[in-house]
């Protein structure tokens, strides 16, 4: 162990032994894969099938009890890579993977590729040993091997990956990532099949955003811990607001496009306003309609002498406002088609003028009407997958600016007599590396352990799937879901591409319906809830609770 000092909590938390699902708890030798019927994609079936001729249609796998001594005979070397944004519990995925591999055969090896997928391309790696993993069990962060957002998608990158994995004698690669990283894992699997490369690829569903879920994947790991951390912070602000009674707090919450995080935190803390991007899209709301709705609540509360409140704003909101969605999509195309020209420009003003000339008239005037800070933020570099980096766009400031304008108009007309003093927050990075909750510590360990069982059974192109998550951990079910069954076709960087379908907030689902039923009351009252910090020790009613989202979704 290194001499680095660790906190008291870390010392105690290192002793936590994750509970394994009963089905795999006696090791990989005591389970057998049971195959279901063949699967198909989510939509655009023909096109997806055409793009994945060798891997499309594979069956779902469930692990059942059985003797499988073959898995102990092989002596394999597995690579693991952490891809994309951090999410609490990543270290436990690696711990579970490591323990299962060693349980099957002590000669099995686990190799970590450093700094995300670029570690594979640049051949930067280190062996995960029992001494190394010991320090990271039940801790947050991805620092054991770090993460990165490089993607492996071009034929040259596939070739380089093949070369490096073969040279390192890697038998299987476990990709811990979100929808985009697992899309690339699916493409790599297809490439290896085509090239007759005998290396298995297995994915693990990671992202705090909660948008990598479907019938086979009930939750992505990290969502539970991150939302608990944000809920603690929002709850604390609710209490501050109710004590001081003088500010409106606008809190933007991470989550990329989907509003799952905001919805979960909203249900846990019951603030006055909870905006949901998916609702804005469904109702085709304009920015000024959103602003009118918020302003109406501010005015009504002011009439009750309540010049304070809390509004939650999902970071992806801006992408769901139809006019903004159209603007962002046109900007994405212009930026990718004119990358070199735009990069050669020295000032933001120059870039803005350039894109405005290329935009259709209505979008150019929308771009020009936005506050300078927002229009500049819309032009920042896209991520390697071509997505706009919504975490860099301060939507809460845009809303406040527009609300202030509206309130001063109302004041002039004698329709508003209150005071509006707003404070902004952005909670995102605060939650991504938190020490995993008991749920995430167990779930991640199970996902990692299960990914090893998939690999040991020679399966490839699967996402580690651990289900029945509202039950106790020892009752969870384990198996694998083919990556191609999650695929659809979407436009990325101006081109039609196969992608894993992102799960957005279901407006007919119980989590959103619960918000809908309560939000008018929450708007006018101070029915705030204070969830407090994550508890790692104490009664199971507080240490082992899962998210409201998962609980309600499983009820449906």
Count other C-beta atoms under 10 Å from residue 369's C-beta. 10
Identified binder of ligand FBP from the candidate list 21, 117, 255, 271, rule CB under 6 A: 255
Q: Which is nearer to ligand FBP, 33 or 84 (CB)?
A: 84
**Part in contact with ligand FBP (CB under 6 A); list of ranges 201-209, 232-240, 284-292, 507-515:** 201-209
**Residue count, binding to ligand FBP (CB under 6 A):** 16
Count other C-beta atoms under 10 Å from residue 447's C-beta. 30
d(CA 556, CA 551) in angstroms, rounded, equals 9
* 164 counts as binding ligand FBP under rule CB under 6 A: no
Contacts of 536 (CB under 8 A, 6+ apart): 9, 12, 13, 16, 435, 437, 438, 543
209 is catalytic: yes
d(CA 112, CA 346) in angstroms, rounded, equals 40
* 256 counts as binding ligand FBP under rule CB under 6 A: yes
Q: DSSP assignment, residue 521?
A: H
Residue with token string 């070739």: 159
Of the listed 99, 180, 209, 440, which one is catalytic? Answer: 209
d(CA 420, CA 312) in angstroms, rounded, equals 17
Q: Are 382 and 335 in contact (CB under 8 A)?
A: yes
* 68 counts as binding ligand FBP under rule CB under 6 A: no
d(CA 394, CA 419) in angstroms, rounded, equals 23
**Part in contact with ligand FBP (CB under 6 A); list of ranges 251-259, 263-271, 297-305, 368-376:** 251-259
**Shortest distance, position 179 Cβ to ligand FBP, whole Å:** 7
d(CA 279, CA 515) in angstroms, rounded, equals 12
Count other C-beta atoms under 10 Å from residue 9's C-beta. 13
**Shortest distance, position 244 Cβ to ligand FBP, whole Å:** 30
**Shortest distance, position 222 Cβ to ligand FBP, whole Å:** 7
Q: Which is nearer to ligand FBP, 10 or 329 (CB)?
A: 329
**Shortest distance, position 387 Cβ to ligand FBP, whole Å:** 8
* 207 counts as binding ligand FBP under rule CB under 6 A: yes
Residue with token string 């004041």: 411
**Shortest distance, position 428 Cβ to ligand FBP, whole Å:** 6
Binding positions for ligand FBP, 380-409, rule CB under 6 A? 390-391
Q: Which is nearer to ligand FBP, 139 or 181 (CB)?
A: 181
**Part in contact with ligand FBP (CB under 6 A); list of ranges 82-90, 359-367, 410-418, 546-554:** 82-90
* 84 counts as binding ligand FBP under rule CB under 6 A: yes
**Part in contact with ligand FBP (CB under 6 A); list of ranges 105-113, 207-215, 341-349, 443-451:** 207-215
* 116 counts as binding ligand FBP under rule CB under 6 A: no
Phi, psi of 529, rounded to the nearest 5 degrees: -115, 145
* 178 counts as binding ligand FBP under rule CB under 6 A: yes
**Part in contact with ligand FBP (CB under 6 A); list of ranges 59-67, 252-260, 286-294, 513-521:** 252-260
Long-range contacts of 159-165 (CB under 8 A, 24+ apart): 160/120, 160/121, 161/120, 161/121, 161/188, 162/191, 162/192, 162/195, 162/197, 162/199, 164/120, 164/121, 164/123, 165/79, 165/120, 165/197, 165/199
Q: What is the 3-state secondary structure (H, E, C) of 437-480?
A: CHHHHHHHHHHHHHHHHHHHCCCCCEEEEEECCCCCHHHCEEEE
Q: Which is nearer to ligand FBP, 99 or 180 (CB)?
A: 180
Mind telling me the catalytic residues?
209
Binding site for ligand FBP (CB under 6 A): 84-85, 87, 149, 178, 207-209, 254-256, 315, 390-391, 428, 432
């Amino acid at each position: 162990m290194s001499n680095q000092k660790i906190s008291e909590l870390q010392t105690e938390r290192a002793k936590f032994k994750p509970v394994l699902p009963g089905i795999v708890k006696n090791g990989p030798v005591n389970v057998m894969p049971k195959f279901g019927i063949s699967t198909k994609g989510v939509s655009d079936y023909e096109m997806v099938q055409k793009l994945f001729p060798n891997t499309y249609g594979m069956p779902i796998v469930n692990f059942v009890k059985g003797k499988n001594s073959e898995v102990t005979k092989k002596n394999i070397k597995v690579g693991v890579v952490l891809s994309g944004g951090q999410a609490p519990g990543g270290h436990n995925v690696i711990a579970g993977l490591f323990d299962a591999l060693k349980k099957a055969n002590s000669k099995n090896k686990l190799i970590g590729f450093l700094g995300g997928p670029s570690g594979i391309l640049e051949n930067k790696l280190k062996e995960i040993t029992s001494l190394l993993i010991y320090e990271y069990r039940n801790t947050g962060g991805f620092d054991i091997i770090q993460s990165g957002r490089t993607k492996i998608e071009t034929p040259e990158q596939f070739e380089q990956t093949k070369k490096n994995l073969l040279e390192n004698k890697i038998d299987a690669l476990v990709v811990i990532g979100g929808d985009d990283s697992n899309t690339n894992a699916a493409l790599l699997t297809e490439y290896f099949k085509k090239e007759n490369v005998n290396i298995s690829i297995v994915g693990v569903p990671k992202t705090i955003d909660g948008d990598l879920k479907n019938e086979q994947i009930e939750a992505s790991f990290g969502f539970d811990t991150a939302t608990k951390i944000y809920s603690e912070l929002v709850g604390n602000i609710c209490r501050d607001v109710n004590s001081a009674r003088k500010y409106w707090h606008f809190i933007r919450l991470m989550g990329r496009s989907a509003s799952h995080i905001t919805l979960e935190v909203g249900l846990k803390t019951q603030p006055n306003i909870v905006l949901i991007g998916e609702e804005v899209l469904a109702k085709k709301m304009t920015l000024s309609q959103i602003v009118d709705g918020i302003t109406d609540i501010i005015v009504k509360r002011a009439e009750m002498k309540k010049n304070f409140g809390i509004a939650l704003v999902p970071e992806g909101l801006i992408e769901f406002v139809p006019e903004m969605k159209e603007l962002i999509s046109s900007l994405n195309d212009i930026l990718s088609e004119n990358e070199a020209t735009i990069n050669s420009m020295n000032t933001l003003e120059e870039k803005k003028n350039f894109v405005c000339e290329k935009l259709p008239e209505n979008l150019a005037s929308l771009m020009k009407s936005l506050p300078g800070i927002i229009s500049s933020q819309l032009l920042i570099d896209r991520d390697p997958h071509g997505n706009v980096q919504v975490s860099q766009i301060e939507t809460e400031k845009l809303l406040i600016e527009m609300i202030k304008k509206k309130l001063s108009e109302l004041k002039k007309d004698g329709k508003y007599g209150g005071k509006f003093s707003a404070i902004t927050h952005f909670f995102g990075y605060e939650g991504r590396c938190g020490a995993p909750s008991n749920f995430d510590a167990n779930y991640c360990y199970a996902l990692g352990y299960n990914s090893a069982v998939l690999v040991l059974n020679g399966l490839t192109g699967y996402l580690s799937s651990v289900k029945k998550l509202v039950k106790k951990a020892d009752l969870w079910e384990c198996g694998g879901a083919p990556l191609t069954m999650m695929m659809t076709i979407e436009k990325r960087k101006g081109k039609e591409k196969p992608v894993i379908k992102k799960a957005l907030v279901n407006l007919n689902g119980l989590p959103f319906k619960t918000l809908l039923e309560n939000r008018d009351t929450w708007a006018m009252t101070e029915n705030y809830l204070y969830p407090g910090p994550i508890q790692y020790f104490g009664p199971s009613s507080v240490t082992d609770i899962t998210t409201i989202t998962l609980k309600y979704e499983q009820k449906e």
